Chain A
Amino acid sequence: MSHYTVAFAGNPNTGKSTLFNLLTGLRQHTGNWAGKTVITAEGEFTHNQHVYRAVDLPGTYSLYSNSADEEAARDYIIFEQPDVTLVVLDATSLERNLNLALQVLEITGRAVICINLIDEAKKLGIDINLKAISKRLGVPVVAISARNEIGIEALLNQLERVATGAFTGKPLQITYSEDIERGIAELIPLVEQTVGSRYPARWIALRLLDGDNSLLTSLKAHMRGSKRYETKEVAGHGVTACH
């Protein structure tokens, strides 16, 4: 029996918390609007004798640290380095949702892409070729409906493959414009020299090119080892009325 950590990432309104609740049996507040999960919640579930610690990250559109919740999600994936990052996507607006998945894959290949609301997509006449997506992204892709509990078993099996290392992904790396690529190439050695090989050098170089100061602040704090990432559970599970 082994223990693994799974981080749940995804855009707002993708049913991420519904899936989290279903797997962990917790009752994290769910609602149909952006920004409802502003704190990370934790739970646990077991599959095939493996115990998974599930961390529900705030729903975000990107990891570009525009706001406190995006920073929280980004810092967790980079610094805590969960065994698997589960990216939950909305099948009915896949194109927009994929952006976050691509950003996660730039950081880590230990990821499973979970396309939720597949039943709604079917109703709307959307047909998704999972194999084609999985081939492009280089990591497992599973279609589920968290609400109606469709595809959960398959999802857990793919989680296990990535967590145990039975599957090693070759995540899609985006090739940017020549200028950016040249900048990245020049920065990578400096990044590795400064922060070591523990963190994804290419991604950090890209973010630095973009002038992401908050990432640097977080990096500094972690290099000094003074600030461990704290998983906040301020409001507890499912408690919205918290006087």
Chain B
Amino acid sequence: MESPHVIKGPDPMDSLLSAAKKLADKGAIRDEIVSGIYGVSAGICSDAVTYQDRKKLGSTYKLDRIVTSRLWGFPIMLAGLGLVFWITIAGANYPSGWLASLFGWIEGYLTAGFEAVNAPSWLHGVLVLGLYRGTSWVISVMLPPMLIFFPVFALLENFGYLPRVAFNMDRLFKKSGGHGKQALTMSMGFGCNAAAILSTRIIESPRERMLAILTNNFVPCNGRWPTLILLSSMFMVGAATTGALRTFSTALVLMGIVLIGITVTLTVSWVMSKTALRGVPTHYTLELPPYRRPQIWKTIVRSSKEKSLNVLTRAIIVAAPAGIITWVLGNVVVGGDSVLNHMAAFFDPFAQLLGMDGFIIMAFILGLPANEIVLPILLMGYMSSGAMVDVDGLGSIKDIFLSHGWTWLTALNMMLFSLLHYPCGTTLVNIYKETKSLKWAVLSAVIPLGIAITVTFAVAQIVRLLGWV
């Protein structure tokens, strides 16, 4: 007998599929397949698995009734976030000061050494004032908060809290037209945007995945936390507040920044899903895994060793040459002023409109490869631009900023710009690789940049109009 489905035509594969389609046109095939598999699973388990006490099984989910409840879900989330910040700021404050003093003390000996061998002053400038100072600041400012923040975050992650965050956020993302899993990829962005772009692969629909990719930049990553933590603890809290209250207020400011980021994420998702990426959110199942006691020491050691050192190494690798270059640019004089000052002066008029200055914008532009180096470049730029301050602790970092006319508005807008501006180079490359579209890669830099400029401009104008600075 001849087969009823003769394969012919240009592509046998397509004929195969159409043959299959003909056979399957009764629909509900997927349901039958799935119920077939589930039936066998259930059969095996009822034969081979016995439960002493079924109630015990539900016990790990008791906690979920509280942390994912409509009433308590968000307050607990915010309190948790605040607590993590509070621990980070309170714990990092003193070690940062000690490290800065230690490096300052060593610098004294280095300078003495250079003088003893009659080294030319430019060599001392390049190596000590540029290279050494730049890198030692990066270490003292970034290492202590990272050593606290990353392990605490990793503990929460291994405990199983992140899926609960996603569960709570799901409603908001649904309303903004995105996918609930966007909450998970967003959480991953708190660690690293570049990695989070890869993690958007868990989102099935291309439309919703694109939303997750476009908005991932709006949560601060490893590279931006140190900048945010440092600036908020220096400028955003009144001088009168001290001790625990000070730490507490700083944590509140950081939380505010994160909330702004999440609000922008939701708003952009909503606007995009109403315009360029129209569509209806798809359904999905989000698994809430049982809570597990994290392996505390392993987690702490691993996250310190890998995450903290990783970020720090990258910062130093880029900051060290950047330190030399900025020192050279700051000391090569053309037409009565250093090259660095010329460059900063070029950006300055525009930057002033945004409540910042030319050095800050320059630092953001030079910091495209990695957000870790924005702050070091800025500091080095300031230091080599004539206002030589003797640095012997964190307090003098603030003096450097103040001597360049910083106010709380400058700090706030730099934080906002850091939060909202384009993603780092690696993230952009990943976006291009994942979407295979130059258009979306460019848009994912241009949209955030536009928002960052708009927001900082508006804030600067309003604050000045009201005469608050």
CA A128 to CA B52, docked complex, whole Å: 11
On whether the beta carbons of B192 and A242 are closer than 8 Å, the reply is yes
Task: Flag whether B357 is at the interface (Cβ < 8 A).
Answer: no
User: Nearest residue in B to A179 (C-beta to C-beta)?
Assistant: B26
CB distance from A79 to the nearest CB of B (A): 15
Q: Which of B19, B21, B44, B160 contacts A33 (CB 8 A)?
A: B160
A34:B184 contact, CB within 8 angstroms: yes
Determine the residue in chain A with the shortest Cβ distance to B150.
A241
CB–CB A209/B23 < 8 A: yes
User: Would you list which residues of chain B between 196 and 224 have a CB under 8 Å from chain A?
Assistant: 198-199, 201-204, 221-223
Chain B: CB-nearest residue to A72: B201
Chain A residues lying within 8 Å of B371, measured Cβ to Cβ, are 243
Say yes or no: B195 contacts A241, CB within 8 Å. Answer: yes
A92 in the interface, Cβ–Cβ < 8 Å? Answer: yes
B466 to chain A, nearest CB (A): 38
Number of residue pairs spanning A and B whose beta carbons lie under 8 angstroms apart: 221
Does B295 reach chain A (CB closer than 8 Å)? yes
Say yes or no for B281: interface residue by CB 8 A criterion. no
Across-interface contacts of B353 in A (CB, < 8 A): none
Tell me, yes or no, whether A67 is within 8 Å of chain B by CB: yes
Q: How far is the CB of B355 from chain A (nearest CB, A)?
A: 26
Cα A194 to Cα B287 in complex, Å, equals: 39
Name the A residues within 8 Å of B279 (CB-CB).
none
**Does residue B57 face the partner (Cβ distance < 8 Å to A)?**
yes
B104 interface contact, C-beta 8 A? no
Interface-central residue, B163, B195, B198, by most chain A CB under 10 Å: B195
Q: Are A31 and B162 in contact (CB under 8 A)?
A: yes
Q: Do B203 and A67 have beta carbons less than 8 Å apart?
A: yes
> Residue of B at shortest CB range from A34?
B287
**A92-B290, A99-B37, A242-B426 are contacts. A125–B158 as well, Cβ < 8 Å?**
no
Let me know if B372 is at the binding interface, CB within 8 A: yes
Q: Which residues of B contact A94 (CB under 8 A)?
A: 45, 49
Residues in B with CB closer than 8 Å to A98 are 40-41, 44-45
B3 proximal to A (CB < 8 A): yes
Q: Does B271 contact A (CB under 8 A)?
A: no
Partner of A191, one of B16, B290, B430: B16
Q: How near does chain A come to B368, taking the closest CB pair, in angstroms?
A: 10
Q: How far is the CA of A220 from the CA of B11 in the complex (A)?
A: 10
A210, B24: Cβ atoms closer than 8 Å: yes
CA distance A120 to B160 in the complex (A): 15
Q: Give the residues in chain B near A51, CB-CB below 8 Å.
A: none
Contacts of A67 in B (CB 8 A): 201-204
Nearest residue, chain A, Cβ from B223: A243
Hey, which chain B residues are within 8 Å of A208, CB to CB?
16-17, 20
> In the assembled complex, which residues on chain A have CB atoms less than 8 Å from the CB atom of B424?
243
Chain A, residue nearest B42 (CB):
A95
Provide the main secondary structure of the chain B interface.
helix
* CB under 8 Å from chain A, chain B span 285-299: 285-287, 289-292, 294-295
A69 contacts B by Cβ under 8 Å: yes
Q: Which of A123-177 contact B (CB under 8 A)?
A: 124-130, 132-133, 136-137, 147, 172, 174-177
In chain B, positions 38-64 with a C-beta closer than 8 Å to chain A are 38, 40-42, 44-45, 47-53, 56-57
Which residues 34-67 of A sit at the B interface, judged by CB distance below 8 A?
Answer: 34-36, 38-39, 58, 61, 66-67
Closest beta carbon of chain B to A141's beta carbon, Å: 9
Contact A33 B163 (CB under 8 A): yes
Q: Does A193 contact B (CB under 8 A)?
A: yes
Docked complex Cα distance between A172 and B44 (Å): 11
Chain A residues with CB under 8 Å of B430's CB are: 234
Interface stretch (choices A1-9, A80-88, A182-190): A182-190
A114 at the interface (CB under 8 A from B): no
Q: How far is the CA of A68 from the CA of B41 in the complex (A)?
A: 25
Is A206 at the interface (CB under 8 A from chain B)? yes
Kindly list chain B residues whose C-beta atoms are within 8 Å of the C-beta of A243: 192, 194, 221-223, 311, 314, 369-372, 424-427
Q: Is the CB of A38 within 8 A of B13?
A: no
Q: What chain A residues lie within 8 Å of B26 (beta carbons)?
A: 179
Distance to closest chain B CB from A122 (angstroms): 10
Question: CB within 8 Å of B: which of A223-243?
Answer: 223, 234-235, 238-243
Contact A128 to B307, CB < 8 A, known contacts A99-B41, A176-B36, A213-B17: no
Give per-residue flags for B385-402: 1 if the beta carbon is below 8 A from chain A beta carbons, else 0. Answer: 000000000000000000
Indicate if the CB atoms of A33 and B310 lie closer than 8 Å.
no
What is the bound-complex CA distance between A127 and B204, given in angstroms?
Answer: 36
Q: Which residue of A lies closest to B371 (CB)?
A: A243
Interchain CB contact under 8 A, B302 and A27: yes
* Partner pick for A136 among B20, B47, B369, CB 8 A cutoff: B47
Binary per-residue interface labels of chain B (264-297) against chain A in the complex, 1 for a CB within 8 Å, 0 otherwise: 0000000000000000000001110111101100
Q: Could you say which of B13, B202, B286, B302 contacts A194, with CB atoms under 8 Å apart? A: B13
With contact pairs A27-B306, A98-B41, A136-B47 given, residues A205 and B158 touching in the complex (Cβ less than 8 Å)? no
Q: Nearest Cβ in chain A — how far from B22, in angstroms? A: 9
Question: Distance in Å from the Cβ of B454 to the closest Cβ of chain A?
Answer: 25
B6 nearest CB neighbor, chain A only: A190
Chain A positions within 8 Å of B154 at CB level: 31
Report the stretch among B27-35, B328-336, B406-414 that lies at the interface.
Answer: B27-35
Give the 4 A-B CB pairs with smallest separation, nearest first: A125-B52, A35-B202, A208-B20, A13-B289
A/B interface sample: 24 pairs, CB < 8 A: A12-B287, A32-B158, A33-B163, A34-B287, A35-B181, A66-B204, A67-B201, A67-B204, A68-B201, A68-B202, A103-B37, A129-B49, A132-B48, A136-B48, A174-B36, A175-B36, A176-B33, A177-B32, A177-B36, A180-B36, A183-B23, A187-B19, A209-B29, A240-B306
